[in-house]
Amino acid sequence: MSSSPRSHILQAAEMLFYGNGIRAVGIDRLVEAANVAKATLYRHFSSKDLLIIAYLDQRHSRVVSDFTAAMAESDDPFDQVTSIFRDLHSKASVPGFRGCAFALAVAECGDIDGVAETASKHKAFVRGIFGRIASAVRGDATSLALRMAILYEGAIATMAIERNPEIAITARDCCLDLIERQRQTAFH
């Protein structure tokens, strides 16, 4: 079964927006990469702004799926953090890794209606995942979750600049240290 023109357009947008930057990619380039007519693109997305939001929504759905799979591997916070950062390391090891698509989108297009809101929703989801992990550890779950989320986000930004996926391992180790320290503190 062949995929729909909408999925071709989103696939092309994903590749081009993430790889080249959103503002650098024009409609003609999207039409060519998706192998659709311009009218078809506009039938599915009445503006480039709506295509940008759809691209970010699709990216968010994929991240939700990745995090859900990582969380399902184990109920143990150490294992969950290890799985999340192993996945991040894998993503950062792929040529063309440019960091967080949401941060990139806000930096380029934060003035477009919905871009900052979509990115904020995504970041809240990530903090929520770390909140679920932190809630399994005694003590101040809110503070622990925030610190782990900052380590995760900081690792993404640093890997994008330094092109070093091993930073994910360092961030993982920092998160595991935080969990261990919080466990020890909670028992005293």
Which domains are delineated in the chain?
1-46 (1.10.10.60), 59-186 (1.10.357.10)
Place 184 in a pLDDT band, splitting at 50, 70 and 90: confident
| The pLDDT value given to residue 150 | 97
**pTM, rounded to two decimals:** 0.92
Q: What is the pLDDT of residues 62-99, one digit of tens each?
A: 999 999 999 999 999 999 999 999 999 999 999 999 99
Give the chain as a 3 state SS string.
CCCCHHHHHHHHHHHHHHHHCCCCCCHHHHHHHHCCCHHHHHHHCCCHHHHHHHHHHHHHHHHHHHHHHHHHCCCCHHHHHHHHHHHHHHHHCCCCCCCCHHHHHHHHHCCCCCHHHHHHHHHHHHHHHHHHHHHCCCCCHHHHHHHHHHHHHHHHHHHHHHCCCCHHHHHHHHHHHHHHHHHHHHCC
